[in-house]
Amino acid sequence: MIERTGSLRAARFFLALAVLAGSGRVWAQSAQPEAASGFAPRPAVTSAGFMVVTANAHATDAAAEILQLGGNALDAAIAAQWVLNLVEPQSSGIGGGGFMLHWDAAHRRVSAWDGRETAPRGAGADFARRPDGTPATFAEILATGNAVGVPGLAAMLEAAHRRHGKLKWERLLRPAIRLAENGFAISPRLHQLLRDDSLLRLDPAARALYYLENGDARPAGEILRNPEFAATLRVMGASGASAFYNGEGADRIAAAVAQRRGALTAADLHDYRPIRRHAVCGPYRQWRICGMPPPSSGGIGVLELLGLLERSQLPPDPGTAAAIHLFAEAGRLVYADRARYLADPDFIAVPQRALLSPRYLDRRARLIDPRRSMGIADPGELPARHSLADDDAPELPATTHLSIVDRAGNAVALTSSIESMFGSRIQVDGFLLNNQLTDFSLVAERDGKPVANRLQPGKRPLSSMAPTLVFDAGGRLQAVLGSPGGSRIINYVARTLVALLDGKAEPAAALALPHAGNRNGATEIESGRGSEELVRELESRGHTVQQVDMTSGLHLIMRVDDRWVGAADPRREGAARGE
């Protein structure tokens, strides 16, 4: 039975949340919010024309439909994104944000589009504190209005479409509208995530859509229709993204967030603006790697990690203990710098050039001992405008990624997210709102020093999303890739690049490589993929080893002999298609 009064619903929700938080169940779940749902290697796809790789076959087909109509890579990415919102609602969508790299083949230009959520004007650094002033845990805020940032994905995609698009905006929404109205079969992965989530069924709208009357998740294979989402897209198709950020829809979002004690208002939605930034590009051996600048740490993190490895004697086989040791040690240094120096550049002076300068990389690389782990790394010493403390945001891995190359050679790498699985668990008009403010540090300062990634009104939280483009020495596009995975994304993308560029691995083999990495703590090995001998050898070098689920969603397109090869991560249900 669904209660009729909003106040009673809210009271019951917070009671349930308090019980779960007290028991530790929410934190245990959110530590790996998009849990593994199987490992099924699939062959790569080759094409001389276009290539699409997304996290779901429905989205891949939507992108292909647009490309077959004469649309370009950006058009196809928009169509695929709204389908992904529908078929994997746990990961991304209109209620969240994202980062996108666009390659304009005719003008040989990379554009970096920032659609990251912003903190509402009424939010403060105490967003993660209890009423008595004591610090709240992540579990206590992940499914509350306090965690909801101003969504940016729709505004970013529309702004990019005005500059790069080819087909009409309205046409790009039709595949998702059609699928929402006609329905799609719930995938085994979506069913598993719905089944295992403790909080989504507490939201009345989400419960009605995704669960049976007894509270069980709708079974895999059942046809799911979402007419509310179709209606939302129809309005946005007719009136543009402004329909989402203004009017009755914005009022409904603000009211839903306020009911869960959040600060977001309709005025915050009205005021949101995406940003076109300069991509972070740098050398790795004979290639040029381009990534996303802050407020994502992805571009800087990947380039710094590769720069450190280039200065080490990295073995060609990335699966050996010696290679994993060096990769993990480089990761320690990168994540130490990330926690200290990276944040929204409109609020903090980010030392981007200093972190990637050859002299700095030389100095940091000398700290790596090929025989022995350094343990917890300290951030490097850099000239800073202010003395800063380290970030403690958990940054959880409920995200998606798509890679597209069209017939003209234009490309898109888009990573988007609503933060933890199913975001804030607040559903409005057929979609879920993010809980992206949990990507800010839960503590604003330490020992009197401010944290760079502390929450401030209008600020964008730090991310690790790493949409990436690779170019050869002549400037020709070689690869398009990226992954979900929270703060592990940097390691996922960098390790894949090492396997491709140094190890000469085939695209599908590179994505199937067992994950390993270090985020300046324990060295993580993908559960079930590391041998006892590998673990023993790493431990003999001083590593504390943890074997954990590492649910990436890498989607890769690579040029091989003047043809495009597309490969999807075997850990999820992605699909590649070319023509």
Give the catalytic positions in this structure. Answer: 399
Q: 447, 273 in Cβ contact below 8 A?
A: no
Distances from the Cα of 58 to the Cα of 3, 179, 180, angstroms: 35, 9, 11
Residues contacting 552, CB < 8 A, separation 6+: 483, 484, 485, 488, 489, 492, 515, 569, 571
Q: 95, 423 in Cβ contact below 8 A?
A: yes
Coil/strand/helix, residue 169? helix
Q: 136, 130 in Cβ contact below 8 A?
A: yes
- In degrees rounded to 5, what are phi and psi of residue 364? -70, -40
Coil/strand/helix, residue 211? strand
Distances from the Cα of 9 to the Cα of 204, 217, 396, angstroms: 8, 20, 27
* Structure tokens that stand for 389 in this block: 């403390």
Write out the H or E segment, with its range, that includes residue 291.
Answer: strand 287-291
Q: How far apart are CA 551 and CA 570, in angstroms?
A: 10
Strands annotated E in 45-182: 45-47, 51-54, 97-104, 109-115
Q: How far apart are CA 545 and CA 542, in angstroms?
A: 9
Q: How far apart are CA 78 and CA 160, in angstroms?
A: 10
**What's the DSSP call for residue 570?**
T
Coil/strand/helix, residue 254? helix
In terms of DSSP H, where are the helices of 109-198? 138-141, 153-164, 169-172, 174-182, 188-196
Q: Tell me the sheet residues that pair with 575.
A: 54
Coil/strand/helix, residue 408? coil
Q: How far apart are CA 330 and CA 323, in angstroms?
A: 11
- In degrees rounded to 5, what are phi and psi of residue 414? -125, 120
Angle between helices 532-540 and 321-341 (to 10 degrees): 60
Q: 22, 200 in Cβ contact below 8 A?
A: no
Q: How far apart are CA 571 and CA 189, in angstroms?
A: 10
Selection from 412, 463, 402, 456 nearest residue 434 by Cα:
463
Write out the H or E segment, with its range, that includes residue 308.
Answer: helix 298-310
The DSSP code sequence of 464-518 is ----EEEE-TTS-EEEEE----GGGHHHHHHHHHIIIIIS---HHHHHHSPPEEE
Q: How far apart are CA 461 and CA 419, in angstroms?
A: 11
